């Protein structure tokens, strides 16, 4: 019996669907609207059953991992959902924060970390987040500052998503 595999490349407006057989022969290529019902209808209408589905979310890594923004009452809890908050080691009177918990989706956490690193180390444009992160680098160290900025980016992304507002970084004096 032949195996069939589906690959979905999802963007905000469309979804590219590719079906291949076990030998790698392309059986179907189609562009669909990025709607779950349309994708499901296309997959169920196929004359063969799909053994595995690969999913590439690209820039939607964050959106697909959160799924429903209303399940978080406060935007701050999104960072904890992705493991960007420190673990707590508590015993008696001792309360020591540790390394980040690394809970949740590893890919989203890595993407937020990479975005924060790029914001702090590669971007020439100034913003309040970058200024705050650069100040943290001087006081807490590079890695801790990047994690803190990644945590803040998760909060900002969630807030923008729930509010429907557009992000406009405030210009910081003395920076380009």
pLDDT number for residue 170: 63
Taking only the tens place, the pLDDT of each residue in 70-79 is 888 888 888 8
Q: Determine the pLDDT at residue 137.
A: 92
- Between CA 117 and CA 115 the distance in angstroms is 5
For the chain, the domains span 4-56, 62-163
Listed range (63-67, 106-110, 120-124, 158-162) with the worst mean pLDDT = 63-67
The residue with greater pLDDT, 19 or 55, is: 19
Torsion angles phi and psi, residue 58, rounded to 5: 55, -120
136-156 per-position pLDDT tens digit? 999 988 888 998 999 888 888
Please state which of the four CATH numbers 3.30.420.300, 3.40.50.410, 3.40.50.150, 3.40.109.10 is assigned to the domain occupying 4-56. 3.30.420.300
pLDDT for 92 beyond 70? no
Task: Give Cα 56 distance to the centre of its chain.
Answer: 12
For strand 86-91 and strand 52-56, is the pairing parallel, antiparallel, or unpaired? unpaired
What integer pLDDT is reported at residue 134 of this predicted model? 93
């Amino acid at each position: 019996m032949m195996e069939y595999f589906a690959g979905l490349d999802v963007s905000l407006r469309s979804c590219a669907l590719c079906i291949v057989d076990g030998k790698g022969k392309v059986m179907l290529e189609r562009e669909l609207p990025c709607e779950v019902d349309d994708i499901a209808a296309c997959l169920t209408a196929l004359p063969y059953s799909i053994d595995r589905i690969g999913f590439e979310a690209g820039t939607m890594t964050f959106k697909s991992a959160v799924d429903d923004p209303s399940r978080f009452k406060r935007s701050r809890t999104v960072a904890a959902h992705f493991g960007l908050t420190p673990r707590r080691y508590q015993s008696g009177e001792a309360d020591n924060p540790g390394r980040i918990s690394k809970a949740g989706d590893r890919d989203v956490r890595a993407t937020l970390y990479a975005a924060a690193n790029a914001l702090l180390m590669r971007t020439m444009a100034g913003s309040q987040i970058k200024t705050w992160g650069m100040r943290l680098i001087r006081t807490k160290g590079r890695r801790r500052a990047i994690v803190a900025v990644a945590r803040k980016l998760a909060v900002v992304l969630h807030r923008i998503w729930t509010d429907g507002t557009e992000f406009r970084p405030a210009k910081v004096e003395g920076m380009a």
